[in-house]
Amino acid sequence: MLLQVQRLTMRYGSTEVLSDVDFSMNAGELVAIVGPNGAGKSTLVAAISGEVPATGGTVLLQAQPVANYSARELALRRTVLPQSTSLLFHFTAYEVVHLGLHCAREAGADLDAPELVAAALEQVGIAHLRDRYVPTLSGGERQRVHLARCLVQMQASPRLGPKLLILDEPTASLDPAHQHRVMAIASAFTRRGNAAIAVVHDLNLAAAYADRLVVLNDGGVAYDGPVAGGLTPALLADVFRLDADILSHPRTGRPVILQSGPL
Ligand X SMILES: Nc1ncnc2c1ncn2[C@@H]1O[C@H](COP(=O)(O)OP(=O)(O)OP(=O)(O)O)[C@@H](O)[C@H]1O
Nearer to ligand X, 95 or 238 (CB): 238
Residue type, 214: V
What residues numbered 92-151 form the site for ligand X, per CB under 6 A? none
Nearer to ligand X, 43 or 171 (CB): 43
Count of positions on this chain that bind ligand X (CB under 6 A): 10
170 part of the interface to ligand X, by CB under 6 A: no
Closest by CA position to 210, among listed 194, 227, 223: 227
CB of 30 to ligand X, least distance (A): 19
Q: Which residues pair with 105 in a beta bridge?
A: none
CB of 182 to ligand X, least distance (A): 17
- Cα 36 from chain centroid (whole Å): 17
The sign of the dihedral angle between the CA atoms of 162, 163, 168, 173 is: negative
CB of 107 to ligand X, least distance (A): 31
Nearer to ligand X, 20 or 95 (CB): 20
CB of 210 to ligand X, least distance (A): 17
What residues numbered 15-74 form the site for ligand X, per CB under 6 A? 17, 35, 37-43
Nearer to ligand X, 73 or 169 (CB): 169
d(CA 112, CA 190): 22
Choosing from 12, 105, 139, 237, the residue that interacts with ligand X (CB under 6 A) is: 12
Nearer to ligand X, 39 or 59 (CB): 39
DSSP helix/strand/coil, 125: coil
Q: Which residues pair with 79 in a beta bridge?
A: 165
CB of 166 to ligand X, least distance (A): 13
CB of 198 to ligand X, least distance (A): 13
The secondary structure of 168-197 as a DSSP string is ESTTTTS-HHHHHHHHHHHHHHHHTT-EEE
Buried b (16+ CB within 10 A) or exposed e, 186-217: bbebbeeebbbbbbbebbbbbbbbbbbbbbbb
Closest by CA position to 127, among listed 113, 117, 140: 117
d(CA 223, CA 217): 9
Nearer to ligand X, 103 or 165 (CB): 165
CB of 44 to ligand X, least distance (A): 7
Element of type H or E holding 156: none
Nearer to ligand X, 66 or 216 (CB): 216
Chain positions contacting ligand X, by CB under 6 A: 12, 17, 35, 37-43
